[in-house]
Amino acid sequence: MPPSAGIRLRGMTESGTPAALPDAAPDPPVPGEASPGRARRSLGRRIATWLYPRRRLQLGMLLASPLGWLAIAYLGALFILLLNAFWEKDAFTGQVEPFAWSLDAFERILTNDVYRTVAIRTIGMAILVTVTDALLAFPIAYYMARIASPRIRSMLVIAVLMPLWAAYLVKVYAWRTILQGSGFLEWALGPFGVESPGLGELSNAWLVLSYLWLPYMILPVYAGLERIPPSLLEASSDLGGRPGTTFRRVVLPLVFPALVAGSIFTFSLTLGDYIAPDLVADAKFIGNVIYDNSSLGNLPVAAAYSLLPIIIMTIYLFVARRLGAFDSL
């Protein structure tokens, strides 16, 4: 008998078709049986609880990946490069023979006066550039930290940082254009009867390298001067100390670690530079000799000569650390 109007049977829609049955309710969890998600959460919680008091282990796990990549990509490649210094080069084929141990490369460097002359020239230039930048950077940094108003100080900081925004080669080629014959320097000095030195003078490398690395000296010295409390300068003045005495006994000892910190950059960058000396002075530095030997396939000599700046900078950094320079970086 068909259903009467307005009356709908249970489980039927208004059109008379069977209605969809609701999904069956999930089975209740069995007592004592943990779900997979809860098991994973409990395992992660146990690991976190175990790691929480072990701070050194947490730091080691955090740094394992980047330090591992550094050890493989950088230190590993450096180790293989330096290993070439102890390998022999075949006299007939010119190929390096791995694991054919020899000290011929070191003997050649120690007995040839050219390598000694290049090393002395490079180290002397690094010292000269470092001293020059220190003498130029200190008055600039002192004015920025102690005398200039906040607005002028901000402008000077931007002026110091602005040369770093330009590419290294752009700045070197700009100086090459200035110093070369018929360049800007000759045009400026011509009316006074002074000729341009050209590109064959070693002093060009000193001038250009001092300009390139000067910001790396100004910034640490400026930071070191800012950390000196003004009360110390006032106390020295109250005790009758003259400006020169205050500078020698108060300012200079406190800012000396910052000077050493800046010298790490100027000394190391000059020691390893080989582009600027070649472009503006036509002079050979340690980097030029290493590059020339590696280009000619003489890897044992290039690797053996590479040990020299590594040893020098290792000693330099050890001394700088003893002087407290790392605290000023």
- Which fold is adopted by the domain 104-328? MetI-like fold (1.10.3720)
- Is the Cα dihedral 106, 109, 110, 115 positive or negative? negative
- H or E segment to which residue 88 belongs: strand 87-89
- Tokens 């796990």 correspond to 61
Residue 102's pLDDT is what? 85
Residue 13's pLDDT is what? 53
Statement: residue 7 has pLDDT above 50: no
pLDDT digits (tens, 9 = 90+) for 157-198: 999 999 899 999 999 999 998 888 777 777 777 777 777 777
Q: Are 250 and 302 in contact (CB under 8 A)?
A: no
Residue 123's pLDDT is what? 95
Residue 290's pLDDT is what? 92
The structural domains of the chain, with segments of one domain joined by +, span 104-328
Residue 35's pLDDT is what? 54
pLDDT bracket for residue 208 (50, 70, 90): very high
- Tokens 């000095």 correspond to 189
pLDDT bracket for residue 217 (50, 70, 90): very high
Residue 5's pLDDT is what? 46
The residue-averaged pLDDT of 45-69 equals 83
